[in-house]
Amino acid sequence: MSLLDPLPGDAVPGDQVPGDAIVAGDAASSAGQSQRKLARKENWRLIRRRPSFIIGVLIVSIWVICALFGSLISPFDPLNYRTGLNMSPHWSHLFGTDKGGRDVLSRVIAGARDVLKIAPIAAVLGVIGGVILGMFMGYLRGWFDTVASRIVESFLSLPVVLLGLLAVTTLGNSNWVVIGVVSTLFVPIVARTVRSAVLAETELDYVASAKLRGESTPFIMFREILPNVTGPIIVELTVRIGYAVFTVATLSFLGAGPPPPSPDWGSQVSDNYNSIVSGYWWSTFFPAMAIASLVVATNLIADSVQSVMEGS
Amino acid sequence: MGKFVLKRLASMVVTLWMIATIVFMIVNVLPGDVGRKVLGPTANANDVAALNAKLGTDKPLLEQYFRSLKNLATFDFGDSFQTGGRVMDLLWPALGRSAKLAILAFIITIPISIGAGIFAARRQDKLADRVVVNAGLGSSSLPEFVTASVLLAVFAVKWKIGSVYANVPAGTSLFGQLEYLLLPAMAMVVSYFGYIARMTRAGVITALHADYTRTATLKGLSSGQVMRRHVVRNAMAPTITVISVQIGYLFGGIIGVEKVFNYAGLGTMMLNAVGKKDIPVLQTAVLMVGIIYMISTLLADLLIAALNPRVRLERGS
């Protein structure tokens, strides 16, 4: 689907310890675990050293601070303060004022809150759902996998934004509806990635030996296989957070995001883009740049995590 | 080859049925009263009942579901809630306008991004490569409406290049239409450039390191011949797949672009339908987008099979 999605069958260095896991013994499994921990530490060290990761984290941190302490930083009340309409950027109003006479800088700061609440929750829920579905598809195979794969494929043939628009229209705007819709639409995408990672794992000896030991299916899936596919799952999670920001911003611009009076960036662009024609570019430009900086930053983080995890 | 096409067509029918089911489920997920939703909470109960009877939304869900499948099979999607006209009469012209914009966007995107991808691959890990890779990552992660509104502010309003409204007046010459469509198309170019360039780059790098490329070089072909006949031809398969997926997905982003430039395409039509709760129009528009995706990925598979005999054999058998 996108370049950021891991390709099926990609080896995940540092996360596979089949050699140790074959031996079903406490000593061997703890050795496997500590090896895994070491590999994880090493990956984390490599990720931290990438400049694109540092830049991404810095930009995201700025927005997180705005979301948490917005009311302390913002110069004016984002919702109720009113002054002259469409005033151009000036010392008293750094980003100018919008067509309702509200301070654009204060609204951009306050606009970080909803998207930073909705996008990560939606991404995490979508990844949890996708991991569960993908585990069952890849491990059980058979008719369940065939049917689920067809359903997943059908979901993938429609743009997420479009289905989201349709769903939010029928369900009505609210933060929880947006979270529910976006996370549900992410489930098939994540499931496809997890399925292919799990398919590769089930061929390995440690799964066969666990079966011979008579372990239950849930135990094999979630205690044996899951720890060995954390690499693709972490990559998928970082990529999904980026997509969630993108999707929530777009839905919000189309009128299917957080309900009014939320000063969400997408709704700010939607409220003000018509006044660009009259020369009032700032009330659209600054929220648009806020969206751009946040999506680019989350993608920088995702790209660094992916490059290290996939060993390129 | 014929067998391969038949198999693909059969699986398209199954996917289409599933898409129709997904859309039906989303629209009917709430046990709501459609007539009430359309007319609003203050409407007269008799009017609501009359509308429901007219739309068939007073029937049991299962019956409505089968009717919607029948609509799809006969390609007759009923009447719009707002205008009362046939849904397809509304959607065809809108789809045509969106297609015009999309085609222009891809005519610009494809040569630029494939060229940039090959250029970057041949300078792997040098500065030029880094620039292409990072520009691609940045540009493809931006929502289309963000790029569109910045282009609108900078080009159309500040520098007076291109039109603020993308609707082309009737009777404009083909070349004259560019003035209206160029900026919205550029907003889409920015979004699609990144994926296609990065995929081309990855494909070319793989092909450059392949044995057949070394053989071609060793047998004395010029580097231009090696690139044209061996590297690019082999590297194109993933690029073609990405382009076809982008064509299918472009309708997610074109809605935002059309809104920013007030362009009367399929996206604007859908947003109007959202505002008026015109479910038949919305539902049909989403189905059409699904059909476009399936056709474009089918064509991509055929093109890949035509380029590579191995794929043809594998999938035909």
Query: Which whole number is the average pLDDT over A221-231?
Result: 88
Q: What is the pLDDT of residues B250-304, one digit of tens each?
A: 887 888 899 888 888 898 888 888 877 777 888 888 888 888 888 888 888 888 8
ipTM: 0.85
Residue type, B234: N
Cis peptide, bond prior to residue A261, ω within 30 of zero: yes
Average pLDDT, chain B: 81
pLDDT at site A22: 42
The answer to whether the Cβ–Cβ distance between A154 and B15 falls below 8 Å is: yes
Instruction: Report in angstroms the alpha-carbon separations of A119 from A170, A275, B23.
Output: 21, 28, 24
Confidence of residue A15 (pLDDT cuts 50, 70, 90): very low
Residues 6+ apart with CB under 8 A from B216: B225, B226, B229, B230
pLDDT at site A30: 62
Q: Is B248 on the interface with A (CB under 8 A)?
A: yes
pLDDT at site A214: 85
Q: Which of B106, B286, B298, B122 is nearest to B195 (CA)?
A: B106
Q: Is B49 on the interface with A (CB under 8 A)?
A: no
pLDDT at site A39: 79
Q: At residue A279, does pLDDT exceed 60?
A: yes
pLDDT at site A123: 95
Question: The tokens of B3 are what?
Answer: 């067998």
Q: At residue B315, does pLDDT exceed 70?
A: no
- Which chain A residue has its CA at the smallest distance from B277's CA? A169
Please spell the DSSP secondary structure of A106-121, one letter per residue: HHHHHHHHHHHHHHHH
Confidence of residue A237 (pLDDT cuts 50, 70, 90): very high
Query: Which whole number is the average pLDDT over A56-66?
Result: 92
Q: Which residue has the tokens 């009359």?
A: B50
Q: Which of B195, B209, B202, B203 is nearest to B307 (CA)?
A: B203
- Give the count of beta carbons closer than 10 Å to the beta carbon of residue B222: 9
Q: What is the pLDDT of residues A112-154, one digit of tens each?
A: 888 999 999 999 999 999 999 999 999 988 899 999 999 998 8
The answer to whether the Cβ–Cβ distance between B202 and A3 falls below 8 Å is: yes
Q: At residue B245, does pLDDT exceed 60?
A: yes
| Distance, CA of A162 to CA of B19 (rounded, Å) | 13
**Cα-only R_g, chain A:** 23
Contact B38, B277 (CB under 8 A): yes
Q: At residue B105, does pLDDT exceed 80?
A: yes
Q: At residue A14, does pLDDT exceed 50?
A: no
Residue type, A71: S
CA A113 to mean position of chain CA atoms? 16
pLDDT at site B194: 86
pLDDT at site B44: 77
Residue A83 host element (H or E): none
Query: Which whole number is the average pLDDT over A7-26?
Result: 42
Question: The tokens of B256 are what?
Answer: 């935002």
Question: The tokens of B309 are what?
Answer: 């005999």
Residues 6+ apart with CB under 8 A from A217: A139, A140
Residues 6+ apart with CB under 8 A from A247: A119, A122, A160, A161, A164, A182, A185
Exposure string for B240-256, b = 16+ CB within 10 A, e = fewer: bbbbbbbbbbbbbbbbb
- Which chain A residue has its CA at the smallest distance from B14's CA? A150
Burial status of residue B78 (CB atoms within 10 A of its CB: 0-12, 13-18, 19 or more): middle
In percent, the amount of chain B with pLDDT more than 90 equals 2
The answer to whether the Cβ–Cβ distance between B202 and A165 falls below 8 Å is: no
| Distance, CA of A30 to CA of A36 (rounded, Å) | 10
Which of B141, B243, B247 should we substitute to test contact with A (largest number of A Cβ atoms within 10 Å)?
A: B141
CA distance A287 to chain B (A): 9
What single-letter DSSP state applies at residue A80? Answer: T
**Cα-only R_g, chain B:** 24
Q: Is the model's pTM score more than 0.95? A: no
Q: Which of B186, B102, B189 is nearest to B151 (CA)?
A: B186
The answer to whether the Cβ–Cβ distance between A163 and B255 falls below 8 Å is: no
Confidence of residue A21 (pLDDT cuts 50, 70, 90): very low
Confidence of residue A32 (pLDDT cuts 50, 70, 90): low
Nearest to B245 among A1, A150, A151 (CB): A1
Q: What is the pLDDT of residues B211-231, one digit of tens each?
A: 888 888 888 788 788 887 778
Nearest to A159 among B18, B30, B289 (CB): B289
- Residue with more model confidence, A182 or B29: A182
Query: Which whole number is the average pLDDT over A164-188?
Result: 89
| Distance, CA of B13 to CA of B206 (rounded, Å) | 35
Chain A CB contacts of B137 below 8 Å: 296, 299-300, 303
Q: Is A53 on the interface with B (CB under 8 A)?
A: no
CA angle in degrees (0–180, nearest 5) for A299-A305-A310: 120
In percent, the amount of chain A with pLDDT more than 70 equals 89
Q: Is B251 on the interface with A (CB under 8 A)?
A: yes
Q: What is the pLDDT of residues A282-308, one digit of tens each?
A: 888 889 899 999 999 999 999 888 888
Q: Is A312 on the interface with B (CB under 8 A)?
A: no
Query: Which whole number is the average pLDDT over B72-78?
Result: 77
Q: At residue B311, does pLDDT exceed 70?
A: no
pLDDT at site A245: 92
Nearest to B294 among A157, A279, A300 (CB): A157
Q: Which of B187, B151, B178, B268 is nearest to A273 (CA)?
A: B151
pLDDT at site A61: 93
Contact B216, B229 (CB under 8 A): yes
pLDDT at site A267: 87
List B residues 178-237 in contact with A (Cβ-Cβ < 8 A).
194-195, 198-199, 202
Contact A309, A237 (CB under 8 A): no
The answer to whether the Cβ–Cβ distance between B256 and A254 falls below 8 Å is: yes
Q: At residue A16, does pLDDT exceed 50?
A: no
How many residue pairs from chains A and B have C-beta atoms closer than 8 A? 148
Chain A CB contacts of B194 below 8 Å: 3
| Distance, CA of A223 to CA of A212 (rounded, Å) | 15
pLDDT at site B317: 42
Phi/psi at A97 (5° precision): -125, 160
> Could you tell me how many residues make up chain B?
317
Residue type, B239: T
List B residues 157-176 in contact with A (Cβ-Cβ < 8 A).
157-158, 164
Q: At residue A208, does pLDDT exceed 90?
A: no
Q: What is the pLDDT of residues B143-190, one digit of tens each?
A: 988 888 888 887 777 777 767 676 777 666 666 677 778 888 888 999
